[in-house]
Amino acid sequence: MKNKILIIDDDADFVEAISLLLEANGYKTLQAYNGKEGFAQAKEQVPDLIMLDMKMAYQTEGAETAKAMSKDAEIKDIPVILATGIGKELTKKLKEILRNEAMSVKTVIEKPIEAKELLKIIKNYIGESGGKEHRELIKQITSFANKWKGKKGNLVMILHEIQNYYGYVPRGISFQLSRLLGIPLARIYEVITFYNFFKLSPPGKHVISVCMGTACYLKGAAELVDKIKSLLKIEEGQTTEDGLFHLQVVRCLGCCGLAPVVMVDQKIYSKVVPDSIEGIVSRYRQDKS
């Protein structure tokens, strides 16, 4: 499967030239000739990368289109290369502005564009078309899809397979799954967000599970949750800023005789009291150091 690159530029000759260059190097290209059309194409086709002209019908059309894309959940993670002919000094200032914006613009390049430079930049963000990593990714997703092909509720089961493999459902995987199954990306996200089981961001290195089954609850499990939240400065379902811990509450760990129970990764801690939480957490912090 070839990587798709969307070119958005009002100069038809430029679009044609860049398309020929990219297709000669193994990429599939899509074309749009203004910001509105480009935004619609991005939503419909979900390309691997977008090449966007800064000035089209008006001076800042490209930047405003990029900003709109960065606010759209379905396409906000697609890398954008902004092309401009405003000169080196202004390009430098533009880069500074974009660096401070929460946008998907990865770099700004000047026109006229050198072929080697452009191909090198593209490779940095999506790799060579048909590269090993891309092929392995498609192969993995295809194996999940084939396992549940034709079975009722197969999308949920495929997502389960993906989460068990990665620990969460990465956005890039969702893009590829949408293409592979021929279903809208929005449908995939409807399922992911409906079920609490699915995660959209990677869990922490160590997952802390607090049992809230009847026995654990009656013996003070809620106090343990409060202590962990206070110590790690996170809420249930969140991960610490350093990515070391993820906190979750579970219905039952099947260890009622050891209540209250806390599990870190696969290790069970029994008859836990709030004062012992800091000692448990510190063991895993030492592992990091």
Residues 6+ apart with CB under 8 A from 266: none
Helix (H, G, I), strand (E, B) or coil at 93: helix
At residue 211, what is the residue type? C
DSSP β-bridge partners for residue 80: 50, 105
User: Residue 201: inside a domain, yes or no?
Assistant: no
Chosen domain end from 194, 218, 238: 194
User: Residue 200: inside a domain, yes or no?
Assistant: no
265: containing domain:
206-288
Place of tokens 């090198």: 120
More confidently predicted of 157 and 94: 157
In tens, the pLDDT along 198-241 reads: 877 777 788 898 999 899 999 999 999 999 999 999 988 788 88
Question: What is the enclosing helix (H) or strand (E) of 206?
Answer: strand 206-211
Give CA–CA dist 274/212, Å, rounded.
Answer: 15
| pLDDT at residue 255, rounded to an integer | 85
User: Residue 147: inside a domain, yes or no?
Assistant: yes
Place of tokens 């966007």: 52
Q: Is the peptide bond before 202 cis (omega within 30 degrees of 0)?
A: no
| pLDDT at residue 44, rounded to an integer | 85
Write out 172-201 in H/E/C secondary structure: HHHHHHHHHHCCCHHHHHHHHHHCCCCCCC
pTM for this entry:
0.49
Instruction: Check whether residue 119 and residue 13 sit in a common domain.
Output: yes
User: Residue 53: inside a domain, yes or no?
Assistant: yes
User: Residue 199: inside a domain, yes or no?
Assistant: no
Place of tokens 């939240």: 229
Instruction: Check whether residue 73 and residue 172 sit in a common domain.
Output: no
DSSP letter string over 2-24?
A: PPEEEEE-S-HHHHHHHHHHHHH
Chosen domain end from 109, 126, 143: 126
In tens, the pLDDT along 57-91 reads: 887 788 889 888 888 867 877 888 888 876 665 55
Question: What is the total count of domains within the chain?
Answer: 3
User: Residue 234: inside a domain, yes or no?
Assistant: yes
Over residues 236-264, the mean pLDDT reads 87
At residue 237, what is the residue type? G
